[in-house]
Chain A
């Protein structure tokens, strides 16, 4: 069973290497490799989740070196749960992107560059979930970031380069901070293994501990786009290709949240920082949602709600109770799926109409009823309408907040209700403008121009950017795989309602394991001691 642990990291990397070697040839085979790889990762992750849930954390030592020295990959409940959700999402988005590339008649570039970058990013995300030491976590971040740099600047168009420059600099700066944190941690304790750090931090002087905690927290706060450090996200995400944005929104910020959960639960339990995190959570929720209300572009509106809803997860982490952590983990699972499906639907809207600007949209309800349903369901789910998983996640967090009972927790409960309402307002405005209203004549412009020299004559929407940065092909019929993968994600998010019992039991067990700390530490260090 331990031999399976490296698979989610190694397999995508291997596939990326093979794809780079093949280059732009053999389209069918290339797509097949990607899909098979990601499906395998999904299966392996599910097997690991079951194994970790029944038999406790699994540990694999890279290169056969035992724990404190060797690189440990740890698959406990939290890591494998995240792996399962992330690989389900990556598989859907991959199918979507392949279909989009076909529909846009992008011949070689997506396969020879997009797919390897995508797979390297997936490997990085998996590695971040499995990493058992800080330096490996840093390497994982770098892997997923370099993948995302390539995806974000794909095609090198002006808007993507503009957004990409900021994004790369932010990524670099936070990586440097992370390295400083690792250096300080190593200088103070002589180890980078998280299990060993967890043991040694308890004997460090308080101020050194606090410095380290704040330093590492700052890094993950940047990655997770929590309030004072969230400005980069709505600026850079919307310009990327639709599938890449969907993946970023679903996974990259959650990797940050995952790291914060690990940091707070395993390395610094009961630290003085949780008050600070509460404030950060409140401000993230409110600032994000006010930003969302002000937007006139669907992609940007969703990006702002993404920032806003990160606050919910931080709230759960800051409570540092079993209920709070369980709620946070549940919310992470729900939010990955919902946020990704919203971005994918936005891609569909763009394909149907050639724009995502609310000033130029209208009447989509009649024009494309299926897209309307696919937008409506996750949008309501995001806002937390019962009985969808968004409601359940928020309910769990609010219950945890009330159970905590401190004034700050109650304030946060109120704040999260306000945020939920404002999210509803933002998505309802979008719904009214884009789907419900009858467009005044002449508002919807001609969506594009027919270009010569294509495989078949197509209409490309001016002002849009597909995967390679060329304008996307608009059509009244959406390719089936794109619709299918989006529907799959929407249904997956809905299934969390049906499976709410087992899922919340699992998240509660996860939270219990996290707060107990001992299973993780002894599983990692058991062989090395």
Chain B
């Protein structure tokens, strides 16, 4: 038995077009899709009955060459049924147009309510998460400040120790010098003399030593100032960051609330 490819192709095309239209949201297109689909399927049933032949009427044609009458009877039935249901669907579309002014398939109201509830839960979650994030940010900043504070105090401590060590060094030098002269058997007057001499001689170097101490002190003060400045800068930056974060959080919460309000308003609900 050979089957012509053409009816199958036509049927396939009709079904494909019908399915495409069926997936639309507009009910009129769905209706047209159903009609195309019905025709495609009916053609398929006819094709399933085998090749064309003579009319299946007893006494008028040879039974050997008759077309299969069963699919034809089935197609007739299915055409009638499809016609009836299509007419009904048309009535539904018309009624829908009367009631809503459009022929789009509407969302289920209860579905919308469930979705809204879910979204409200999400919103609360989001707000909580944002507040959490803000609190975490503030906490982190406090911790960092505290860390900086400790580091500074340690450094100051170290520097003060360093300074004391240097002063001690200077005193130790002086003591050693005095001891050296005393060991050499010099009387205290002589030592005084030497000392005055050395003081004179070492005016420059002594001055240098004093200068060193002064310089160290100045350096220390400068560093402290810098430290303070840096800390102030960091605090300022932190404040700016906090303000920014707070602003962002508030904006996000407001946006969420707005979206929710829009979702509650049935007129404004689009296909979001």
**Interface residue ranges, A against B (CB under 8 Å):** 69, 135, 138-139, 142, 145-146, 149-150, 153, 156-159, 161-166, 168-169, 171-173, 175-176, 179-180, 182-184, 186-187, 192, 235, 238, 294-297, 300
Contact = CB atoms under 8 A, between A and B. Distances in A.
With a 10 A CB-CB cut-off, give which of A146, A171, A179 has the most chain B CB atoms: A179
A177 to B, nearest CB: 9
A158 B100 contact: yes
6 contacts: A135-B74, A142-B85, A156-B95, A183-B71, A186-B45, A296-B114
Contacts of A235: 108, 111
Nearest to A179: B41
Interface of B: 15, 18, 22, 27, 30, 34, 37-38, 41-42, 44-45, 47-49, 70-71, 74, 77-78, 81, 84-86, 88-89, 92-93, 95-96, 99-100, 105-106, 108-111, 113-114
From B15, B22, B105, B106, name the one whose CB has the most chain A CB atoms within 10 angstroms.
Answer: B106
A182 B74 contact: yes
B110 A238 contact: yes
A187 B7 CA distance: 14
Contacts, number: 104
A263 B70 CA distance: 22
A179 B78 contact: yes
Given A153-B95, A169-B34, 17 more contacts: A139-B81, A145-B85, A158-B99, A158-B100, A166-B105, A169-B27, A169-B30, A172-B86, A173-B34, A175-B81, A176-B38, A179-B78, A183-B44, A183-B45, A186-B48, A186-B71, A296-B114
A146 B38 contact: no
Nearest to B96: A161
A159 B110 CA distance: 11
Contact of A183 (B48, B84, B96, B105): B48
A165 B34 contact: no
A146 B84 contact: yes
A272 B194 CA distance: 117
B89 A186 contact: no
Nearest to A300: B110
Nearest to A153: B92
A448 B96 CA distance: 27
B74 A165 contact: no
B42 to A, nearest CB: 8
Contact of A172 (B34, B42, B108, B109): B34
B85 A168 contact: yes
A164 B92 contact: yes
Nearest to B43: A183
B88 A146 contact: yes
Given A135-B74, A161-B96, A166-B105, A173 B22 contact: yes
